[in-house]
Structure 1
Amino acid sequence: MEDNLLLLSNSQTHNMGFLEHAREALVEFLDGRRSIYFAPYAAKVSAYDSYTATIQEAFKPFNVTVTGLHTVDRPAAALRDAEVLFVGGGNSFRLLKTLQQLDVINVVRERVTHGELRYMGSSAGTNMSCPSLRTTNDMPIVQPASFASFGLISFQINPHYQDPPTDSTHMGETREQRILEFLDENDVPVVGLREGSWLRKRGASLALEGLTAARIFRRNTAPQEYKPGSDLSWLLTLPATFDQSQP
């Protein structure tokens, strides 16, 4: 069985409803499955129920039952029998810390890798598919035990990637500069995934899909633009070297 991943840059695109921009991709990804677990852990605890309700409403057109993972007594055990896991957006540090505390990292990695569990992420949830959260945009509002995440792919993603406005007078670092700083310390490709787009992985195949182009950064290589429909399977074959002195 092949692993199946749907990695969205964002859940909501400007002037569109929640997940509306990716409806066709969702239908293809679910492939008839009618039950998913949703992990709301990137949000604050008091928002888990309302966040899950938003996801339930978004999946109604697909006749899919959404269960908040926070409502089950043993999340790791539930995920051993699950067909689909959707990890939502919010703060990546808070998300990873909670996933570690719930001891679900290994079971998700193993079941996804063996093609037994389909994984869908958005924003912070997409960050979790990477080897590390180090290319998140978020502030470290909490401290996870390590930066290591699910590692379902061998490269990094920067969701919500933004190009600097040409008329901006802002003197701080751009998103591109931050990614290049990452590459100074880690020899790992980074996909700058603009809003409205996503990566679709089917086994050894990886494609850029959606509404906008993506920008891919590699050490000692000029950033390259890729249009929706591009075959990015080559990213899955590249070795990744992290600075192991970091947590």
Structure 2
Amino acid sequence: MERSLLLISNSKLFGSGYLDHCESAIRDILRERKEVLFVPYARPSGITHDEYTAKARERFERMGFSLGGIHEQDNPAAAVEGAKAIFIGGGNTFVLLNALYQNEIVDAINRRVAEGVPYIGTSAGANVAGRTMMTTNDMPIIYPPSFSSINLVPFIINPHYLDLDKNSRHMGETRETRIKEYHIFNDHIVVGLREGAMLHIVGNNVNLQGTNGARIFRRGQEPTEHTTGVSLDFLLTGN
């Protein structure tokens, strides 16, 4: 079966509720798969796995899907093996990736998605779908064994991408500056995915959906702008 991924910049868009802006895309990727395995390891704002799962469960049930937390099962690897669909929520990417390695499910998720199991990732969950987590926005509050991620796609995502506000008095680095710093030492394409935007990947096809679009960075080149509704198939070939 073809790989099927939905990589979402953010789980909540200003003025709307949790997953409201991406509900139709979630329905489209899941279709007849009514059971979802949720990975709550990123723990946004430090909430517990149970609290995070309860929030996700309530939202998915309203969409007509059942959802169970991976931590609710005795064997995380077995849970991944039996999953009909996988959803990794946002939060702290360092905490998330560390837990994925601790529970020894990085390779298992990679293999299951290659076998056709749908993968949904919001924010940190979208970031870890790439080759590495090194374009995360999060503080390194814990040290994972590696910065290498699940490697479901050959590029990297910077979720919640923010453009330069020319009226701001903030003197810190912009997202664009930080991504350019990444490219001093690394070659991978980076997708700056603005809030409201998402990548829907089916097989070898990549479609930019949602709102606000994306900014794509290549080493040694000027960034390029891309509006929603366009094909970004080149992301899978590196061209």
Q: TM-score range by the shorter chain?
A: over 0.9
Q: CA deviation at 1:55?
A: 0.6
Matches within 5 A, 1:97-176: 97-115=98-116, 117-176=117-176
In the TM superposition, residue 169 of structure 1 has moved relative to its aligned partner by 1.2
**Mapping of residues 191-230 of structure 1, within 5 Å:** 191-230=191-230
What is the aligned-residue identity percentage? 45
Aligned length: 238
Unaligned runs of 5+ in 1: 240-247
Using the size of structure 2 for normalisation, the TM-score is 0.97
2-side partners of 1:46 and 1:179: how far apart?
A: 29
- The residue aligned with 1:71 is 72
Question: Which consecutive segments of 4 or more residues in structure 1 shift more than 2 A?
Answer: none
SS at match of 2:222: strand
How far does residue 114 in structure 1 lie from its aligned partner after superposition? 2.1
* Mapped pair 1:183 → 2:183: yes
Task: Deviation per CA, 1:41-87: give whole Å up to 9, x if none.
Answer: 00177521111111111112221111011111001011101110100
What one-letter code is carried by the residue in structure 2 that aligns with 1:148?
A: S
Offset at 1:221?
1.2
Q: Report the counterpart of residue 245 of structure 1 in structure 2.
A: none
Give the direction of change, closer, same or farther, for the CA distance of 1:162–1:76 in structure 2 (3 Å limit).
same
* Range that drifts further, 230-239 or 198-207: 230-239
One-letter code of the match for 1:26? I
User: What are the Cα deviations for residues 156-212 of structure 1, in whole angstroms up to 9, with x where unaligned?
Assistant: 100000012110111111110000000111011100000011000001001100011
Matches within 5 A, 1:20-59: 20-43=20-43, 47-59=48-60
Cα distance in 2 for partners of 1:32, 1:65 equals 12
- Runs of 5+ in structure 2 lacking a partner? none
Q: What is the identity, as a one-letter code, of the residue corresponding to 2:88?
A: V
Measured in 2, the distance between the counterparts of 1:131 and 1:2 equals 19
CA distance in 1, matches of 2:108, 2:135: 23
Report the RMSD for the aligned CA atoms in angstroms: 1.2
Provide the C-alpha distance between the structure 2 equivalents of 1:184 and 1:152, rounded to a whole number of angstroms.
24
Measured against aligned partners, the alpha-carbon deviations of 1:216-243 in whole angstroms (never above 9, x if no partner) come to 011121111100011000110018xxxx
